[in-house]
C-alpha cells in the first residue's frame, strides 16, 4: 500500500512513477472519489460532533436534575441523517481502499526504466561457464537415466508440473536445502524458522499477493478458506504483522526452508520440461525486517548472502538489477540472481531479492518504535530466495555432470551426503 498522504499531495509524481513500471493510475476516478470523500467526511464528522455535544448536554442536564425533554426534541432526526451519512462515507472509503490495494509499489530512485526483462541491468558476473568436451545433457536426461527423476509417475498421481525424486538425487535435493539453511543460520545471522504453509487471506493481503493475484494461488476450501503459500516470504513477513517491534530487536533476520505452491496460471507451455517450473517446490527464504534508514544496505547484504550459496556450490551466476517493468507488485528494488544452465546455454533465475520499503508494512501494520522520536514508524521489509532448491538441484546436476552421466557433488554438500563425492 502506498502512503495515502503521497496520493493526496503528490499525485503527479505518483502517477508518473507508476507509469514507469507500466501501471496506468486511474487518475480521474481517484480524484472524483477523493473529492466526494472529503466533502462527505467533513459533513459526517460535523454531524457526529453535534450528536456528541448534545448527548453530553443531556447527561449534564440529567445530573443537574433538569428536564431533558427539550434537548431530546432538539436532536430528533439527527440519528437517521448521521446513519445515512456514515453509510455513504463507508461505501466511498471502501472504493478508495479497493483502488489503493491494487496499486503496486513505487520503484526506487536508481531503478532502470524498462518494460521487460530485456531492459534489466547486469550488475556483476561470477564464475566461468564451463566448456564441455562432450555433449552436455539437460537435467531431465541426466535424471531419467537412473530413475532419479520421474515426471511420468508424478503426472499419473498429480498431473503436469510435479516430479518424483528417488535415491541419490532425492538425497542431494535434501542436502541442498540443509546446506543453505545451515549457511544462513550459522554464518549469516538469520534465525531459523519453521512456518505454516497454509495461511489466511489477510496474510497474503499483507505481503501483496491478494487481492490482485489470487489466480496464482492454490486455495483450500474448508470451514475457513486458506491458501497454500507461494513462498515463505508470506508467513515470515507476517510474523511482525500488527506488531510494534522494539528498536533493539532490529534488524530482524529470519530464514525458513519450506514448500511453495504456485498455480502457474498463465504460464502454459513455458518450462514444461523438468523441474524448472513446478506447482510444488522447495525454497530457503530470507526475510529481513529493518528500520527505514537501513533497508538499502540490507538489500545489498541479503543479496550477498544468496550469492554466497551459489559461490560455495561453484555455480556461475550473474546479478541483475530489475527494471521498472519487470519488478514484482510489492518491490521497490529487486536483484535477480541468474545461474548458468549449460543445457539451455542461458542464465536462469534462481533467486530474487527485493526491498519492499514500507509497502508491505503499511498493509501489515508492522511498526517499530523509533527511540529518537518515541513514536512508532513503519518498518521496511525485505525478502530474498536463498535460494530456490529445485532450480539449484538442476544447476548442480547440469554444471557438475560428467561424460558418463554421473554427477560430481560440490564439496560443501558432501558432508550432507555421507561423504559421497560422485552421484552414479
Partner RNA sequence: GGAAGCGUGGCCGAGUGGUUGAAGGCACCGGUCUUGAAAACCGGCAAGGGGCAACCCUUCGUGAGUUCGAAUCUCACCGCUUCCGCCA
Can you read off the three cell numbers belonging to residue 225?
Answer: 478458506
Residue 166 sits in the site that holds RNA (CB under 7 A): no
- Give the dihedral of Cα atoms 234, 237, 239, 240; nearest 10 deg: -140
Report the SS3 class of residue 228: strand
In the block, residue with C-alpha cell 537415466 = 145
The smaller minimum CB distance to RNA, of residues 35 and 297, is found at 35
- Residues in contact with RNA, shown as a per-residue x/- string from 236 to 275 under the rule CB under 7 A: --------x-------------------------------
In the residue annotation, 56 being an active-site residue is answered as no
The smaller minimum CB distance to RNA, of residues 85 and 231, is found at 85
Number of residues that bind RNA (CB under 7 A): 33
Cβ at position 149, least distance to RNA in Å: 30
Cβ at position 358, least distance to RNA in Å: 11
Residue 55 sits in the site that holds RNA (CB under 7 A): yes
In the residue annotation, 215 being an active-site residue is answered as no
Cβ at position 32, least distance to RNA in Å: 16
The smaller minimum CB distance to RNA, of residues 19 and 49, is found at 49
- In degrees, rounded to 5, the angle at the alpha carbon of residue 183 between the alpha carbons of residues 177 and 189 is 125
Cβ at position 279, least distance to RNA in Å: 24
Residue 81 sits in the site that holds RNA (CB under 7 A): no
In the residue annotation, 349 being an active-site residue is answered as yes
Residue 385: how many other CB atoms lie within 10 Å: 27
CB 339 within 8 A of CB 391: yes
Catalytic residue among 81, 174, 277, 414: 277
- Please pick, from the candidates 10, 27, 29, 38, the single residue that binds RNA as defined by CB under 7 A: 38
Q: In what order do the strands lie in the sheet with 244-245?
A: 244-245, 367-369, 376-378
Scanning residues 121 to 160, which ones bind RNA (CB under 7 A)?
A: none
CA 14, CA 88: separation in Å to the nearest integer?
A: 27
C-alpha distances (whole Å) from 54 to each of 47, 49, 70 are 11, 9, 11
Q: Which long-range contacts (CB under 8 A, 24 or more apart) does 373-376 make?
A: 376/244
Any residues with CB less than 8 A from the CB of 30 and at least 6 apart, and which?
A: 7, 11, 96, 99
The smaller minimum CB distance to RNA, of residues 4 and 415, is found at 4
Residues forming beta bridges with residue 218, ordered by sequence position: 228
Scanning residues 375 to 394, which ones bind RNA (CB under 7 A)?
A: 375-376
Selected range binding RNA among 20-28, 262-270, 289-297, 368-376, rule: CB under 7 A: 368-376
- Cα atoms in the Cβ-side hemisphere of radius 13 Å centred on 14: 19
Cα 78 off chain centre by? 47
- Residues in contact with RNA, shown as a per-residue x/- string from 3 to 32 under the rule CB under 7 A: -xx--x------------------------
Residue 75 sits in the site that holds RNA (CB under 7 A): yes
Binding residues (CB under 7 A) for RNA: these are 4-5, 8, 38, 41-42, 44-46, 48-49, 51-56, 58-60, 62-63, 68, 72, 75, 78-79, 224, 244, 371, 374-376
Give me the active site residues, please.
Answer: 262, 277, 349, 352, 391
Amino acid at each position: 500500500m502506498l502512503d495515502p498522504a503521497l496520493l493526496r499531495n503528490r499525485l503527479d509524481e505518483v502517477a508518473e512513477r507508476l507509469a514507469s513500471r507500466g501501471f496506468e493510475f486511474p487518475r480521474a476516478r481517484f480524484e472524483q472519489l477523493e473529492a466526494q470523500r472529503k466533502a462527505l467526511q467533513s459533513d459526517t464528522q460535523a454531524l457526529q460532533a453535534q450528536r456528541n455535544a448534545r448527548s453530553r448536554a443531556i447527561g449534564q442536564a440529567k445530573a443537574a436534575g433538569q428536564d431533558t425533554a427539550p434537548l431530546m426534541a432538539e436532536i430528533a432526526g439527527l440519528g437517521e441523517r448521521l446513519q445515512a451519512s456514515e453509510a455513504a462515507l463507508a461505501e466511498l472509503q471502501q472504493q478508495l481502499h479497493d483502488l489503493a490495494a491494487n496499486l503496486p509499489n513505487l520503484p526506487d530512485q536508481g531503478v532502470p526504466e524498462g518494460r521487460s526483462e530485456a531492459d534489466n541491468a547486469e550488475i556483476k558476473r561470477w564464475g566461468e561457464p564451463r566448456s564441455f568436451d562432450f555433449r552436455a545433457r539437460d537435467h531431465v536426461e541426466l535424471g531419467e537415466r537412473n530413475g532419479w527423476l520421474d515426471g511420468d509417475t508424478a503426472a499419473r498421481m498429480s498431473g503436469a508440473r510435479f516430479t518424483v525424486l528417488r535415491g541419490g538425487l532425492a538425497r542431494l535435493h535434501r542436502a541442498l536445502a540443509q546446506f543453505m539453511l545451515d549457511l544462513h543460520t550459522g554464518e549469516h545471522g538469520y534465525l531459523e524458522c519453521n512456518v505454516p504453509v497454509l495461511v489466511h487471506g489477510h496474510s497474503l493481503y499483507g505481503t501483496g499477493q491478494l487481492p490482485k493475484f489470487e489466480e496464482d494461488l492454490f486455495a483450500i476450501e474448508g470451514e475457513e478458506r486458506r491458501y497454500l503459500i507461494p513462498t515463505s516470504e508470506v508467513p515470515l513477513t507476517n510474523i511482525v504483522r500488527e506488531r510494534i517491534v522494539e528498536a533493539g530487536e532490529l534488524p530482524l533476520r529470519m530464514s525458513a526452508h519450506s514448500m511453495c505452491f504456485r498455480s502457474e496460471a498463465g504460464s502454459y507451455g513455458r518450462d514444461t520440461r523438468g523441474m524448472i517450473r513446478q506447482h510444488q517446490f522447495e525454497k530457503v527464504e530470507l526475510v529481513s525486517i529493518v528500520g527505514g534508514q537501513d533497508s538499502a544496505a540490507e538489500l545489498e547484504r541479503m543479496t550477498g548472502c544468496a550469492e554466497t550459496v551459489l559461490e560455495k556450490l561453484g555455480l556461475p551466476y550473474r546479478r541483475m538489477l530489475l527494471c521498472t517493468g519487470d519488478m514484482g507488485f510489492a518491490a521497490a528494488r529487486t536483484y535477480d540472481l541468474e545461474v548458468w544452465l549449460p543445457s539451455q546455454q542461458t542464465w536462469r533465475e534462481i533467486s530474487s531479492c527485493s526491498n519492499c520499503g514500507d509497502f508491505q508494512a503499511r498493509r501489515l501494520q508492522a511498526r517499530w518504535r523509533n527511540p529518537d522520536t518515541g513514536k512508532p514508524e513503519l518498518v521496511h521489509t525485505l525478502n530474498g530466495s536463498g535460494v530456490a532448491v529445485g532450480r539449484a538441484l538442476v544447476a548442480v546436476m547440469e554444471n557438475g555432470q560428467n561424460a558418463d552421466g554421473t554427477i560430481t557433488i560440490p564439496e560443501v554438500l558432501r558432508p550432507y551426503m555421507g561423504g559421497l563425492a560422485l552421484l552414479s
